[in-house]
Amino acid sequence: MKTIIGVMGGSKVPDRVLSQARLLGRLIAEEGWVLLNGGRNTGVMAASAAGAKEAGGLTVGIVPDSDCQGIATGIDLAILTGMGEARNVINVLSSHVVIAIEGGTGTISSRRCLLPDP
């Protein structure tokens, strides 16, 4: 089985974060790992998928919607869930490693799937 790296982050982030996400996607692909993210064509999701695709990597998007509208062009396999933010549990449980980049409530909910309450 291939190693799956989950990359979670905001849909509206500064350009510096988009650059970091793109580089991260590229580095993941160069290692031969699979990039998994939220699949949308915005923010960290689109940037990390684009970086992975540029390096010839495989990308998986766990999409919160039940249709294919708005999926990032860098996503190879889109898993439609119709679950909204609840799909973050799938993101985390399907990843061997999760990297959370700057983001909003969706990113925070991914983090909470990993960490017990303080």
**Measured between alpha carbons, how far is 21 from 5 in angstroms, rounded to an integer?**
13
What's the pTM value of the predicted model, to 2 decimals? 0.85
CATH number of 4-114: 3.40.50.450
Residues of the chain with pLDDT under 50: 105-109, 111-113, 117-118
Any idea where the domains of the chain sit in the sequence? 4-114
**Measured between alpha carbons, how far is 73 from 41 in angstroms, rounded to an integer?**
7
User: Which pLDDT belongs to residue 118?
Assistant: 44
Residues 101 and 13: beta-carbon distance below 8 Å: yes
